[in-house]
Structure formats: C-alpha cells, structure tokens
Chain A
Amino acid sequence: MIANYGYKDGSGEYYISIDTDKCIACAAGRACMTACPKQMFETLIDDYDDEVMWIKQASRRSLAYECADCKPSGGYTSLPCMTACTPGALKHSW
C-alpha cells in the first residue's frame, strides 16, 4: 500500500509517500526512525495487521516546516530519511 501523509495548501503540495509493502520486515531495521532529526516516523500495526511506518499525527500538517532543515538549503545533500531507507519505501513530493 502507498500511504501518502501530508497536505496541499496555497503554497504547494507536501506529501511523504510510504510504500508500506516495503516496510513489512524492513531490511534497514527501521533506520528512518533514528535518521529523521525531527523523529517524525513511528511504527504502527495497520488495518491489515502488518507492522509498518507512518508519520506522526502531530507532524502531518506541518511537513513543509518540519522537513525544511533537511532540504538542500538546510545543508543536507540528500534527505536523511530517504538515505536511511535502503528498501526505497520513502519519497517526498517536494
């Protein structure tokens, strides 16, 4: 399942997509959880009883701000969460 967390507002679209099929039995040992400086990721048992990752509720409506420090102007050459996610389950829309 592709789970898109985020929002669209007047300034743009801010979604983090998680391919939860790649999260089940994560080959990277849930590295995204520790890689994210804002600790936005957490595990969840989804509606189909699989343990997957999701974005914390409190962060979903402010992704543009939460992720700002990791974007190129923040000094990172690649996003820490996407780099840590070796199965390639994570994508940012912006």
Chain B
Amino acid sequence: MTAGEKKEYWRWEESCWIDESKSWRDAKIVTAGIDVGSVSSQAVVCVDGELYGFNSMRTGNNSPDSATNALKGVLEKSGMKLEDITYVIGTGYGRVNVPFAHKAITEIACHARGANYMAGPSVRTILDMGGQDCKAIHCDEKGKVTNFLMNDKCAAGTGRGMEVIADLMQIPIAELGDRSFDVDVEPAAVSSTCVVFAKSEALGLLKSGYTKNKVIAAYCQAMAERVVSLIERIGVENDFFITGGIAKNPGVVRRIEKLLGTTAAKTKYDSQIAGALGAALFGFTLMQKQAAKAA
C-alpha cells in the first residue's frame, strides 16, 4: 500500500476453487449457476449434479460483466469453454441480466436447494444473510421452499452493514467476528435499526470510552437480534443452516445460535456459493427431465 492509499478494510477474500478429483470431460451433464448479488457474484459449475468448481468475487457496477467475470474464473481454471456447459441458470438480484443464462430462478429457491446439498436433506430452516438483504426460508427434505420471508428494505443486518463497520473500525472484515468475543462484558446491542444511524451510534460509543472490540460486539449482537426477529416470524425448525457471507462471521453466527437456542449446521463448502450452487443443481434437474422426456 502506498502513502495516501486508503486501505479497504471491508474487502473480503475472493476465491476460486476446482475439484481436481473430478473431470468435466467425462461428465454427461455440465450445468452452471450464476448468482449475481448486490455485493458479491458467484459462479458454480456442477458435473452430473455434483459440485465441480466455483468462483466468488465482488459484484461490479454492471451485472452482465459481473456474471461473465465470475464464470470466467472457473472456465479459465478448468480449461472449459462456455459451449461445454449444457445449461446455465441465473439467480440473485441481477439474475435477469446474466447474458448467457437459459433461465432465471429466484435466489430464495436456489438458496434452499443449495443448502440442501451443502448441509444435507435434514435442513429445514435457512437464514440467508446476503449483501443487502436477509431471507428466512423453510424447505422440505428435497430443498423445495415451503415458507419464506425476506427483508430488503434496509441494509441493517446485512453484509453491507458489516462492511461499513469494518471500515469505520479500521479492522479487516474477516477479523471482526473473533474480535467481538474479546470483551470483558458483553455489551448491549447497538440500538439503531439503520446502518447509517448505527454508524453514528458506534462513533458515539467509541467517544464514550468503548473499545473497538466492544463496539464490534455491540454491532454483532444488533445484527443477530435483527435477523432473529425476522426468522422468528416463520419459526425455526431444525436443522438450521446459515448461508451468505455473514455465515463466515462467528461473532454474528454464535450470537444468533445463542438467541435461537440452537446450533447452525456445519458444512465443508463456502457458505457464499449456496445460491449459485442451487441454481446449477436446478439446471441439472431440468436437463435430467428433458433427457427423460426425449428417451
């Protein structure tokens, strides 16, 4: 970083991964799911209904470009071309702007399907903590949505809100969760339900003598309380699973678990790819149905 250059504390780590043990060349059906969210974009490629690779990156100011760049990462790493993919489904906020998608499906259905794959068929309640909205979803054992609720009216309780706090505290966003536990006494939640006002309140707390960790703890608690009030409207049925970037923040996840009196199911996969993964799996099912009709 050069002098005068502003450090981006909010910037989370982008990732691209390929399962080297699988070969897309041997697969009968290759499908892709592209989740263009308000903050992040993901591309997932599945081979015969199994996760093969993904790319997760920040959404730019142009949805078609974000979708193209997200998929480009997986294609370059795997040596695949767009023509090698049988079917592409777009999802997320920018789902209708994925230029190479054959179909668009809402992120609600895709997150449920993705969570079903990532944490198993016993998952019944999903909390998707996205970049600029929050969704509570109930699903059945096949990952089909049975009840959902979303709040996209304000950014409080979302990933963007956490980015704002990371920047304000000048602490890398990946460290916020762990630092929120480094407090003598758990503080009361930040009272504001709006990110802009929460920022002002956080500044006021710092001035009153709160340590940075204590302010972060107060914000994590506020975020947990906010999403719990949302999810309680549809009820929590185990297993419970959290998707989206905030699922990587233990400061929020453990506080949600405490408030709900349950533990979130664990997964070996990146929680941010749930929507794109669900979209790719929807594509696989569609292709299977088409093949069965043709036979």
Which residues of A does B touch, CB under 8 Å? Answer: 1-4, 7-10, 13, 15, 47-48, 61, 93
Contact = CB atoms under 8 A, between A and B. Distances in A.
Contact of A9 (B148, B154, B233): B154
Interface stretch (B1-9, B54-62, B73-81, B139-147): B139-147
B153 A7 contact: yes
B191 to A, nearest CB: 10
Contacts of A48: 109, 144
B106 A1 contact: no
Interface in B129-186: 138, 144-154
Given A9-B193, A13-B233, A15-B233, A1 B146 contact: yes
A57 B82 CA distance: 33
B193 A10 contact: yes
B148 A2 contact: yes
Interface string B215-241: 000000000000001100110000000
B147 A9 contact: no
Interface of B: 105-106, 108-109, 138, 144-154, 193-194, 229-230, 233-234, 282
B109 A47 contact: yes
Contacts of A15: 149, 233
Contacts of A7: 151-153
Contacts of B108: 47
Nearest to A47: B109
A61 B132 CA distance: 14
Contacts of A2: 138, 146-148, 234
A9 B153 contact: yes
B194 to A, nearest CB: 8
A8 to B, nearest CB: 6
Nearest to A13: B233
Given A3-B148, A47-B106, 8 more contacts: A1-B146, A1-B147, A2-B148, A4-B233, A4-B234, A8-B151, A8-B230, A13-B233
Contacts of B150: 4
